[in-house]
Amino acid sequence: MSNILDTKSIDLSAMRHSCSHVLAQAVLQMFPDAKLGIGPTIDNGFYYDFELPRTLIPEDLPLIEKRMSHIVKQNQRFVSKNEPTAKSITFLKKINQPYKVDLAQELKKTGEKEISFYENVMQDGKVVFVDMCKGPHISSTSEIGPFKLTHLAAAYWRGDEKNAQLQRIYGTCFATREELEAHLKNLEEAKRRDHRKLGKELDLFTFSDLVGPGLPLWMPNGAVIAEELETLAKEEEFRAGYVRVRTPHLTKGELYEKSGHLKHYKASMYPPMKIDNEEYYVKPMNCPHHHMIYSARPKSYRDLPLRLAEYGTCYRFEDSGALFGLMRVRSLQMNDAHIYCTEEQFEEEFLAVVRMYLKYFEIFGITQYVMRLSLHDPSGLGEKYVDEPELWKKTENMVKKAIQHAKVPVVEVLDEAAFYGPKIDVEVWSAIGREFTLATNQVDFAVPKRMGLTYVNKDGQEKAPLVIHRAPLGTHERFIGFLIEHFGGAFPVWLAPVQIRIVPVSDQFASFAEELRLKFFDAGLRVEVDSAAESVSKKIRNAEMMKIPYMLVVGEREQKEDTLTVRNYATKTQDVFTFDAFLGKVMKEVKGRVLS
Amino acid sequence: MSNILDTKSIDLSAMRHSCSHVLAQAVLQMFPDAKLGIGPTIDNGFYYDFELPRTLIPEDLPLIEKRMSHIVKQNQRFVSKNEPTAKSITFLKKINQPYKVDLAQELKKTGEKEISFYENVMQDGKVVFVDMCKGPHISSTSEIGPFKLTHLAAAYWRGDEKNAQLQRIYGTCFATREELEAHLKNLEEAKRRDHRKLGKELDLFTFSDLVGPGLPLWMPNGAVIAEELETLAKEEEFRAGYVRVRTPHLTKGELYEKSGHLKHYKASMYPPMKIDNEEYYVKPMNCPHHHMIYSARPKSYRDLPLRLAEYGTCYRFEDSGALFGLMRVRSLQMNDAHIYCTEEQFEEEFLAVVRMYLKYFEIFGITQYVMRLSLHDPSGLGEKYVDEPELWKKTENMVKKAIQHAKVPVVEVLDEAAFYGPKIDVEVWSAIGREFTLATNQVDFAVPKRMGLTYVNKDGQEKAPLVIHRAPLGTHERFIGFLIEHFGGAFPVWLAPVQIRIVPVSDQFASFAEELRLKFFDAGLRVEVDSAAESVSKKIRNAEMMKIPYMLVVGEREQKEDTLTVRNYATKTQDVFTFDAFLGKVMKEVKGRVLS
């Protein structure tokens, strides 16, 4: 855990920020007329936007890097300086930096009296570069660690396509050469593992212009993974005492008026279908539907905790610019459930949910994770958050206490709660160190009350239950997107779309291959024979391209001796088994959901 | 089979029609001012609508029946008579029958020259009753078999709520006393088995005014059944070489423009969601989405047959007046699949689908069924049906031939095909003889072509595949509705929402009961302990009300002797087992999907 959080520490950030100033200085050396945009730090690096007399090409980057190295060696000091706003604007105009003028005038409007600058000062005291900047910076360019410019991109000034288009240069910078190299290697690996690229190569999912953006269609190979994840979730949820429900994907708007979602959530929803003087919506979440199931029959304390689970598909109208492969979509098939419980039951239920998270992490080999506890900001009460200051306090304390007992890594953030209560996002890191927000866990003290959900307690009084919203496997879309990268497309046997591929060395062994296939198939395995009119070596390459866990090349020896020569994709080894021994091994791996 | 089709024969229908005239005559005897509406035959009976000086009560029915019996004994002859239209209208006005005048004027408008009447003539030649009627009738009232008036209802004249409200009397009539009694017993049984009544009593599903009409929400008990049906379908489909896909419930309208559904199907669809200059629809069927998966990658003859399966939920905006429990709904979770094949593969694929139907019928104990082959009507070409006369002919012949080879009972009907090809509806009869249309099987030669679906055949040419649309388990909604009636709510163990209920005779045995529960639960069974503060006899009655297959009443003897006293709901017997023997028995029944 700790080393990952460390890389976000302020020192690295200051160093990267200083590196972006060095980049800007280098670009100004090459193009004295360059106009500077902004140059912030980002995860693992920095960028800077420029207006330049010509379009940069990748070959420019090493030349810029060379100039940057030179600046680093000059050991320039970073010196902070505040100037009155009006004077600053005059200065920025003078040095012909219109974008900086734009920023300064913005600050003037908000009433800023002074503007902060950082100068780069040579050892002899000469100022060679100055940028409008709040800092912080490191003290001298010589403290900058190993860096690399990674790629170019286009960017609009202030992200608005009505503004001028600038050229963006991305770079990365680390404290040590080893870290930089590991990062660059991870970047390469991330490209190879890109879920959009592998999704296509492995035939997992597709998009259709006729169906619409952000609405993935799961091909047979991808549907296998979704199916296996659902089976896992259903098994675990059955064991944990959940019951399942099924609810329609549509509802009248009235339901969301009553739940309060229309007020707080409408911007993220598909627009209504209007018919018979009613407005119908596709559901952006399952909770109000589940609440209708809860309230369909009177409840007593004996009925609680009630855990209603559904792999419900929800629809959210994400901005088309925000859509990204499976990671940002408009259809979300969620591993959803709502736990209705009393206050006394809350902690136990919450901890059981955390245990379920941990079990899944183990199954998928996720070793790095953190819980991000989002709390409300009292200034948003009545607007962004339901106006119940006392209940917010009480519930947040209850959640904090429960998390402490769960003994899992946690960070707290303000003003990111759900409108009805505190939210716990679970962030995980993939095998190559990329961060994903996978699962959510929310505590809702407001909507159940609002919708009139009750139970009769031991003393015969009507009370509103608490509701825990939880989705440990998140959505199929995002979780499978994560798994593709995490496993680099080489899924463990139980998840692999095709578990075994049989390659007969010639047509002569086609019927033997088919016999074998049927034996595996009858055991419930996903197995296929490659009977294409291609060479054996081509077929072997194809099976490897598809990252199929086990490949059996079968010919005379296999047929005569009743043995199997098995190529293992994960270990890159080849072993000889009897049929029964191999089937036993595979079945054990599948049933045990063993990681390869 | 045959006896069921026989009950629809024309003789019975004529007899029932005559019986409705006898009913009208009897009502006129009681209320000489009665105005007659219409009096057709219906499945298993007849009705007649009247405008009467007072509202009828159920106690009136035996009095009317008595008069009817008297009329039957009078052996009145039915005599047909045609009169010129104008003269008929004058006559109907004279006898003060305004609704009949209305009907006659309607006929006049359509250019009818003559109107047909039937008179009831006494043995002495006296005419005692006359009704405007096309017939046919039996020759005399004495031929009327045993009859019974069953119930009252309100009805608008011509079914239009802007018209006058009339009173409707329903009756039934059979050739023999035995048939009438069997039918009345079935009616009683059907009331007891009504899926809406049992759905509520057994907590299977619910509707919510806030969610909307025709959109059932599956409660935990009902979701168990849906889940088990899906598991069954997935197992069978895996064995039959299907692969699964998953597609969104939404699509841009463009997809349906291309598929032709918007033209042929729009009236049954929810209206569009309009956003970003696009119209999105919730899908009324899965096929166009599956076609997009088919066409996402190039296909060769080696890829066929390709069988894409999905338990997809579709939405159809049925008229609110047509909605009926689970049997007529707006959300349809379908056991859907599309088989893409060549013409040569068609028959084998079709027969495999029929085999799957037969297997399901066996599993559910469905012994009576018929395939209803819907063909196109050439006069609808270009309108209701795609304008491909030759392909219609060819495909219909292909289907007829395949059905012959399947050796299943079949009836042919004209002008009920899908717009893209012939359709086979599978009609089944429940255990109490009620008919349900469960499953469909359609052959599509038009849409694949229209959407540009192709495969490359052995000669390197591009061809369009045939598509078989099939849904052997229909929709969850309708199939579970059927099963509720078919099993009268007493589901076989594998389908039962709760398989075992444990009733401790006192609190003293609560922990023993819980121990037992865990042992069954660990084996994957759905088991619960009734720990309510009620008497044992009340708990036994409750378990019986819920039709739970096995009930274990546990007390001192069970705890000491390690035996179980098991009450079997289906057989109404009580047996003693060791734990292992009972668990073994139940697991065998569950795994074998044994009928109780």
Q: Does A300 touch chain B (CB under 8 A)?
A: no
Residue B460: other Cβ atoms inside 10 A = 7
Which residue range is the domain that position B556 belongs to? Answer: 500-591
Read off the CATH number of the domain in which B65 is found. Answer: 3.30.980.10
Whether residue B523 lies within 8 A of chain A, CB to CB, comes out as no
Residues of B in Cβ contact (< 8 Å) with A320 = 276
Nearest CA-CA distance, residue B302 and chain A, Å: 8
User: Nearest chain B Cα to A276, which residue?
Assistant: B320
In A, which residues are within 8 Å of B292 by CB distance?
A: 206, 208, 210-211, 217
DSSP 8-state symbol, A431: T
Helices and strands per DSSP (H, E), number in chain B: 19, 30
Q: Do A219 and B293 lie within an 8 Å CB cutoff?
A: yes
CB-facing half-sphere around the CA of A545: CA atoms within 13 A: 11
Burial of B7 from C-beta contacts in 10 A (0-12 / 13-18 / 19+) = middle
Ramachandran region, residue B186 (left: φ > 0; alpha: ψ -120 to 50; beta: rest): alpha
**Mind listing the pLDDT tens digit of every residue in chain A (596 residues)?**
333 334 344 488 899 999 999 999 999 999 999 999 999 998 889 999 999 999 999 999 999 999 999 999 999 999 999 999 999 999 999 999 999 999 999 999 999 999 999 999 999 999 999 999 988 999 999 999 999 999 999 999 998 888 999 999 999 999 999 999 999 988 888 899 999 999 999 999 999 999 999 999 999 999 999 999 999 999 999 999 999 999 999 999 999 999 888 887 888 999 999 998 899 999 999 999 999 999 999 999 999 999 999 999 999 999 888 899 999 999 999 999 999 999 999 999 999 999 999 999 999 999 999 999 999 999 988 888 888 898 899 989 999 999 888 888 899 999 888 888 899 989 999 888 888 988 888 999 888 998 999 999 999 999 999 999 999 999 999 999 999 999 999 999 999 999 999 999 999 999 999 999 999 999 999 999 999 889 999 999 999 999 999 999 999 999 998 899 999 999 999 999 999 999 999 999 999 999 97
Q: Which of B273, B275, B289, B479 to mutate against chain A (most A CBs within 10 Å)?
A: B273
Which residue is closest to A307 within chain B, CA to CA?
B220
What pLDDT, in 10s, does the model give residues B457-499?
Answer: 999 999 999 999 999 999 999 999 999 999 999 999 999 999 9
pLDDT per position as a tens digit, B120-172? 999 999 999 999 998 899 999 999 999 999 999 999 999 888 999 999 999 99
Q: Which positions in chain A touch B258 (Cβ < 8 Å)?
A: 210
Q: Is B527 helix (H, G, I), strand (E, B) or coil?
A: strand
Do the chains contact at B251 and A315, CB–CB below 8 Å?
no
Residue A493 lies in a domain: no
Question: Could you tell me if A222 and A170 lie in one domain?
Answer: no
Element (H, E) at A152: strand A147-156
Interface predicted TM-score (ipTM) of this complex, two decimals: 0.84
Query: pLDDT digit string (tens) for B201-251?
Result: 999 999 999 999 999 999 999 999 999 999 999 999 999 999 999 999 999
Q: How far apart are CA B153 and CA A92, in angstroms?
A: 87
| DSSP structure string for B408-454 | --EEEEES--BTTB-EEEEEEE-TTS-EEEEEEEEEESSHHHHTT--
Task: Look at residue B184 and give its three-state secondary structure.
Answer: helix
Supply the CATH number for residue B543's domain: 3.40.50.800
Question: What pLDDT does A322 receive?
Answer: 87
Nearest to B282 among A250, A317, A531 (CB): A250
Lowest mean pLDDT among A11-25, B19-33, B427-441: B427-441
Both B525 and B424 in one domain: the answer is: no
Confidence band, pLDDT 50/70/90 cuts, at residue B3? very low
Let me know if residue B200 belongs to a domain: no
Beta bridge partners of B455: B463
Residue B491 domain-assigned? no
Closest-CA residue of chain A to B292: A208
Cβ pair B270:A252 closer than 8 A? no
- The DSSP element (H or E) to which B35 belongs, if any, is strand B35-36
User: Same structural domain for residues A175 and A42?
Assistant: yes
Indicate if A437 and A480 belong to the same structural domain.
Answer: yes
Q: Is the Cβ of A550 closer than 8 Å to some Cβ of chain B? A: no
Nearest to B7 by CA among B182, B135, B152, B191: B182
Q: Residue B272, preceding bond cis, omega within 30 degrees? A: no
Please tell me which of the candidates B210, B226, B249 has its beta carbon nearest to residue A252.
B210
Selected for mutation to probe chain B from A217, A323, A529 (highest B CB count within 10 Å) is A217
If asked whether residues B156 and B179 sit together in one domain, one would say yes
Q: Which residues of chain B make contact with A224, given a CB cutoff of 8 A?
A: 244
pLDDT at A4: 37
CB contact under 8 A, B248 and A217: yes
Q: What angle do CA B117, B121, B125 make, to 5 degrees?
A: 130
Q: Distance between alpha carbon B334 and the CA centroid of its chain, in Å?
A: 15
**Do residues B253 and B295 share a domain?**
yes
Task: Write the CB contacts of A471 (distance below 8 Å, at least 6 apart in sequence).
Answer: A334, A335, A336, A337, A439, A440, A441
Q: Which H/E stretch holds residue A455?
A: strand A455-456
Q: Which of B219, B271, B289 sits opposite A245 (nearest CB)?
A: B219
Which of A429, A450, A485 is where one domain is finished? A485
Closest CA to A310 of A354, A364, A398, A245: A245
The partner residue sitting opposite A271, judged by closest CB among B208, B247, B273, is: B273
* pLDDT band of B432, cuts 50, 70, 90: confident
- CB contact, 8 Å: A231 with chain B? no
User: Which residue do the tokens 């000491």 mark?
Assistant: B560
| Structure tokens, B348 | 């084998």
Q: A147 phi and psi, to 5 degrees? A: -130, 170
Residues of A in contact with B206 (CB under 8 A): 292-293, 296
Last residue of a domain, one of A458, A485, A512: A485
pLDDT, average across residues B176-187: 91
- The answer to whether residue B329 sits within a structural domain is yes
Distances from the Cα of B336 to the Cα of A115, A497, A526, B357, angstroms: 66, 21, 21, 13
**What is the residue whose two structure tokens read 């600058």?**
A117
Task: State the residue for tokens 């019927």.
Answer: A511
Q: Which of residues 468-497 of B touch A (CB under 8 A)?
A: 476
Say what percent of chain B tops pLDDT 70: 98
Instruction: For residues B372 and B442, give the distance between their C-alpha atoms in angstroms, rounded to a whole number.
Output: 11
Of B211, B220, B317, the CB nearest to A248: B211
Q: How far is B287 from chain A (nearest CA, A)?
A: 12
Judged by DSSP in three states, B318 sits in coil
B399-404 own/partner pairs: CB under 8 Å, 24+ apart: B399/B350, B399/B373, B399/B424, B399/B443, B400/B373, B401/B347, B402/B346, B402/B347, B402/B350, B402/B351, B403/B371, B403/B373
To the nearest whole Å, the CA of A451 is away from the closest chain B CA by 11
Per-residue exposure over A509-538, b if at least 16 CB sit within 10 Å of its own CB, e if not: beebbeebbeebbeeebbbbbbeeeeeeee
Q: What is the pTM of this model?
A: 0.84
Q: Are residues A406 and A520 in the same domain?
A: no
Sheet holding A573-578, edge to edge: A527-529, A500-504, A550-554, A563-568, A573-578
What are φ and ψ of residue A155, in 5° steps? Answer: -155, 140
- Of the candidates B203, B222, B293, which has its C-beta nearest A297's C-beta? B203
134-173 of B, contacting A, C-beta below 8 A:
none
B354: closest CA among B303, B420, B399, B385? Answer: B399
Cis amide prior to B136 (ω within 30 degrees): yes
Residues of chain B numbered 330-359 and touching chain A (CB < 8 Å): 330-331, 333
Measured distance CA(B270)–CA(B282) in Å, rounded: 7
Residue A280 sits at the chain B interface (C-beta within 8 Å): yes
Q: Is the CB of residue A176 less than 8 Å away from at least one CB of chain B? A: no
- Residues A337, A227 share a domain: yes
Same domain as B349, residue B310: yes
Report chain B's mean pLDDT, rounded to a whole number: 93
Chain A nearest CA to B173, separation (Å): 41
CB contact under 8 A, A218 and B245: yes
A297 inside 8 A of chain B by CB = yes
Give the count of Cβ contacts less than 8 A between chain A and B: 178
Question: Could you read off the pLDDT of B100-124 as tens digits, one per residue?
Answer: 999 999 999 999 999 999 999 999 9
A217 vs B247: CB contact, 8 Å cut-off?
yes
Question: Which pLDDT tens digit goes with each residue over B304-326?
Answer: 999 999 999 999 999 888 899 99
Measure A514 CA to nearest chain B CA, in Å. 14
Are residues A279 and A246 in contact, defined by beta-carbon separation less than 8 angstroms? no
**Cβ-nearest to B227 among A244, A250, A293:** A244
Is B40 domain-assigned?
yes
Say how many domains are in chain A: 3
> What is the DSSP pairing of strand A369-375 with strand A423-429?
antiparallel
Residues of B in contact with A292 (CB under 8 A): 206, 208, 210-211, 217
Is B408 part of any domain? yes
Last residue of a domain, one of A188, A216, A238: A188
Q: Residue B454: which CATH number?
A: 3.30.930.10
Do A27 and A56 fall into the same domain?
Answer: yes
In a domain, residue A255? The reply is yes
Helix, strand or coil, per DSSP, at residue A586:
helix
Which chain A residues are Cβ-neighbours of B532 within 8 angstroms?
A: 302
- Minimal-distance CA residue of chain A relative to B251: A211
Interface of B with A in 191-220 (CB under 8 A): 203, 206, 208-212, 215-220
- Determine, yes or no, domain membership for A564: yes
Question: Are both A214 and A92 inside the same structural domain?
Answer: no
- Cβ contact (<8 Å) for B280 and A302? no
Question: Do B523 and B415 share a structural domain?
Answer: no
CB B316 within 8 A of CB A240: no
The answer to whether B301 contacts chain A (CB < 8 Å) is no
